[in-house]
Amino acid sequence: MTTQNLLVELFVEELPPKALKKLGDAFAGVLADQLKAQGLTTADSVVTAYASPRRLAAHVTHVWRKAEDKAVQQKLMPVSVGLNAEGQATPALLKKLQALGADVSDPAATVAALKRAPDGKSEALFYDSLVTGAALDTGLQKALEEAIAKLPIPKVMSYQLETDCELPGWTSVHFVRPAHGLVALHGSTVVPVKALGLTAGNTTQGHRFEAAVSPVVIANADSYAATLEKDGAVIAGFNERRFAIVSQLARAAELLGPSYEVLMDDALLDEVTALVERPNVLTCAFDEQFLEVPQECLILTMKANQKYFPLLDAAGKLTNRFLVVSNISPADASAVIGGNERVVRPRLADAKFFFDQDRKKTLESRVEGLAKVVYHNKLGTQGERMERVRAIAKAIGQQLGGDVLAQSADTAARLAKTDLLTDMVGEFPELQGVMGGYYARHDGLSEDIAFAIEDHYRPRFAGDELPRNAVGVAVALADKLETLTGMFGIGNLPSGDKDPFALRRHALGVIRMLIEKDLPLDLAALVSGAAPVFGDKITDACAALTDFIYDRLAGSLREQGFSAQEVDAVLALRPQRLGQVGKLLAAVRAFAALPESPALAAANKRISNILKKAGEVDAHVNPQLLKEQAEQDLYAVMQRFVPEANALFEAGDYTGSLQALAALRGAVDAFFDDVMVNAEEMDLRLNRQGLLKSLHDAMNRVADLSRLAT
């Protein structure tokens, strides 16, 4: 028996474009997994997903017509339960065997065929049987039903299909979109499965307007994609269609001239790929007068509303040309081009109108209106929030740059949220901050203030740029700290994958600014300094918020490649200047590579346990009470190397500081070999504990080295 390749296609009405790729991958993945679970595929079977606006399909290689029969051994029950004193089958055993389909007409022969084997403390009976392998017809039916049931569909549609039985009538079907066709081919043979009220065949439909034939006949599983493209004018593969779009976009820009660059992002490409069956890129243009509007507005309306690809010039400025991905390829495309140009004009005209209207009022004149906008029912209005951000930003500015920076941060924070009241941001919320920067310049404010207003939401996502100047950093930090402090203070914490106020993102933003800008700010002071501006609106949650920020920092560092041990060792000491964390981690990594590291880490862990049991210990040593040679030697080597390590630490050479302490290894080992710390004489005990406390303090200035112990 040889294998053949399998093709399954669901032909449906237009699928949700933003979910298409996910739907296609899920459909093919579950289908292949279910076939594999039933033994219908080989170890080297390969699944290929297809997804176009009106179809989900999967191609699976090396599929059996029937799975191999399998020898199965099943545990029945303990011997003491299955057999009586005479060794005969009990009713319980016979009932179990009957349920498994065994022939129990001759109980003695049936018992003789059973196997006995140890099972824990007792002996059990086992039954060997041969399970018939699944046939493809039934196996694919089960796999198809599972694939449909497990599609990640947030909402299903209910629709009616006419029944295909002798009695006329209608049946209700529930699926993401109405389904109109089902193809199932094993090689060239139709597999008679059913789904969504449809029976599988070997025909499908191509492009609505450009298919060469209708229906499109699929001769065999391997000819699916080629036949659909040739006869149906459809590129079935999502990735292949996306590649065709990218290639055509690049070619269209190249034909316009070397100075043109297509502005395309992955989300837009994926969405457009999900909207067309055979892409055809066309070049369009709009009136140059609209270029007076900030290009962010024009780009957003073209991408979000029209799914167009803007074209930039060599300097990165928007041009009046744009590219459209059409789903048809007429001989004369002028009508398609003209239609798209007519459609985009009112969109751009709206943007220009909003921009012109907004500039008739200054940002300052809008400040009062923030008091009429509710921010949160427990935290007050945007006006109240603005005042809190101002206070925090001013304090941060004072620390970072004195009175001048504090005043600029105060001004920027006062105006940062005013663009929320503009028509442009009302229409395009994604432009908040950006439009504030434009309007600030129009009002005659300095570039520092304009940049700060524009940047105060940054970083908005992973990898986003940080604020460009110190004023923006102060306001951005204040804005994020206000959100974190307020939400923690009223108990609105992230839970599982739910984080409606993006507190994880805000925490990572604070972390990135403190680290990447190497700001001379203590984290604890920042967190505690933000709480008083809320008055009695919140409860004190500074400790929980600080833990949350360190947890996010730990996760971020592990994602960057640092080990859990390295991260735990550094963050256990709660470093306040996050800009130093990178140097601390580098020092720990260098120390861990030293041959002395394992012994010193283990000793440090032992010291920590001793001190924890001892309670409060004073880091004081009386040399006169050092009686044993090993403790005298340890004290002497500490007197020599600890000051050197401390000096290097104070100079910021954390790697050198830890490496200097590596010289203590021999003396520390000898101390634990020869000295009884908890001596009966109280003065000796306290002195030795004091010696260990001094050693512990010296060794753990950079990191908690006990966390490196295995």
| Stretch among 119-133, 248-262, 320-334, 672-686 having the lowest mean pLDDT | 119-133
pLDDT at position 98 is 83
Against a cut of 0.85, is the pTM above it? no
pLDDT at 117 > cutoff 80 = yes
Give the model's pLDDT for residue 166: 53
pLDDT score of 113: 79
Regarding predicted confidence, which is higher, 109 or 461? 461
- Whether the per-residue pLDDT at 380 is higher than 90: the answer is yes
Residue 114 or residue 145, greater confidence: 145
CB-based contact 51:20 (threshold 8 Å): yes
Q: Is 295 exposed, middle or buried (0-12, 13-18, 19+ CB in 10 A)?
A: middle
pLDDT tens for 532-553 read: 999 999 999 999 999 999 999 9
Q: Which two tokens stand for residue 447?
A: 């570039």
CA dist., res. 326 & res. 209, Å (int):
13
Joined tokens for residue 57: 């399909």
Write out the H or E segment, with its range, that includes residue 32. helix 20-37
83 band by pLDDT with thresholds 50, 70 and 90: confident
Distance CA(657)–CA(648), nearest Å, equals 5
Question: Per-residue confidence at 57, pLDDT binned at 50, 70, 90?
Answer: very high
Residue 140, token pair as written in the block = 């694919």
At 168 the pLDDT is: 58
The 10 Å CB-count burial string (b at 16+, else e) for 306-328 is: eebbbbbeeeeebbbbbbbbbbe
pLDDT band at 353 (very low <50, low <70, confident <90, very high): very high
Whether the Cβ atoms of residue 183 and residue 7 lie closer than 8 Å to each other: yes
Q: Give the whole-angstrom CA distance, residue 187 versus residue 208.
A: 27
Which residues does residue 181 pair with via DSSP β-bridges, in sequence order?
A: 11
Three-class SS string for 636-705? Answer: HHHHHHHHHHHHHHHCCCHHHHHHHHHHHHHHHHHHHHHCCCCCCCHHHHHHHHHHHHHHHHHHCCCCCH
Distance CA 302, CA 348 (A): 8
- Give, for 95, the enclosing helix (H) or strand (E): helix 91-99
Under DSSP, is residue 13 helix (H, G, I), strand (E, B) or coil?
coil
Contacts of 394 (CB under 8 A, 6+ apart): 406, 407, 409, 410, 413
Q: What Å distances lie between residue 309 and 4, 242, 292, 322, CA to CA?
A: 43, 14, 19, 6
Q: What is the C-alpha to C-alpha distance for residues 600 and 617, in angstroms, rounded to an integer?
A: 21
For residue 372, what are the contacts with CB-CB under 8 A and spacing of at least 6?
381, 383
Higher pLDDT, 555 or 67: 555
Whether the per-residue pLDDT at 165 is higher than 60: the answer is no
- pLDDT per residue over 646-695, tens digit each? 999 999 999 999 999 888 999 988 988 888 888 888 888 898 888 988 98
In whole angstroms, what is the distance from residue 495 CA to residue 636 CA?
53
Q: Please give the Cα distance from 331 to 336 (Å, whole number).
A: 11
Task: Say how far apart CA 184 and CA 7 lie, in whole Å.
Answer: 6
- 360 pLDDT more than 80: yes
Q: What is the pLDDT of residue 525?
A: 95
- Distance in angstroms (rounded) separating the CA atoms of residues 379 and 424: 26
Please report which confidence band the pLDDT of residue 164 belongs to, taking 50, 70 and 90 as the band edges.
Answer: low
Check: CB of residue 446 under 8 Å from CB of residue 508: no
pLDDT class of 75 with cuts at 50, 70, 90: confident
When computed from its CA atoms, the radius of gyration of the chain, rounded to whole angstroms, is 36
d(CA 693, CA 618): 7
pLDDT tens for 208-236 read 999 999 999 999 999 999 999 999 999 99
Q: How much is the average pLDDT of 429-440? A: 96
pLDDT band at 455 (very low <50, low <70, confident <90, very high): very high
* Cα–Cα distance, 538 to 340 (Å, whole number): 52
How high is the pLDDT of residue 252? Answer: 96
Please say if the pLDDT value at position 50 is more than 70. yes
pLDDT for the residue numbered 169: 61
The whole-number pLDDT of residue 217 equals 97
**Residue 612: pLDDT over 90:** no
What are residue 668's DSSP bridge partners? none
In contact, 457 and 478? CB cutoff 8 Å? no
In this prediction, residue 163 has a pLDDT band, given cuts at 50, 70 and 90, of low
What are the backbone angles phi and psi of residue 261, rounded to the nearest 5°? -135, 135
Decide if 260 contacts 312 (C-beta within 8 A).
yes
State yes or no: pLDDT of 59 exceeds 90: yes
Tens-place pLDDT, residues 88-105? 888 888 888 888 777 777
Residue with the bigger pLDDT between 690 and 279: it is: 279
Residue pLDDT, tens place only, 626-644 = 888 998 999 999 999 999 9
pLDDT at residue 88 in the model:
85
**Over residues 283-291, mean pLDDT:** 96
Please state the rounded mean pLDDT for residues 56-68: 93
pLDDT at 185: 97
Q: State which of 14-23, 108-117, 600-609 shows the largest mean pLDDT.
A: 14-23
Separation CA 215–CA 11 (nearest Å): 12
Q: Return all residues near 149 (Cβ < 8 A) that are at least 6 apart.
A: none
Structure tokens at 458: 């940054």
Dist CA 484 CA 507 (whole Å): 7
If you write DSSP's letter for every residue of 394-425 in order, what string do you get? HHHHHHHHHHHHHHHHHHHHHHTTGGGGSHHH
Confidence of residue 144 (pLDDT cuts 50, 70, 90): very high
Cβ contact 696:674 at 8 Å: no
pLDDT at 67: 84
Cα separation, 339 vs 320, in Å, equals: 16
In 3D space, the residue among 621, 670, 631, 662 whose CA is nearest the CA of residue 644 turns out to be: 662
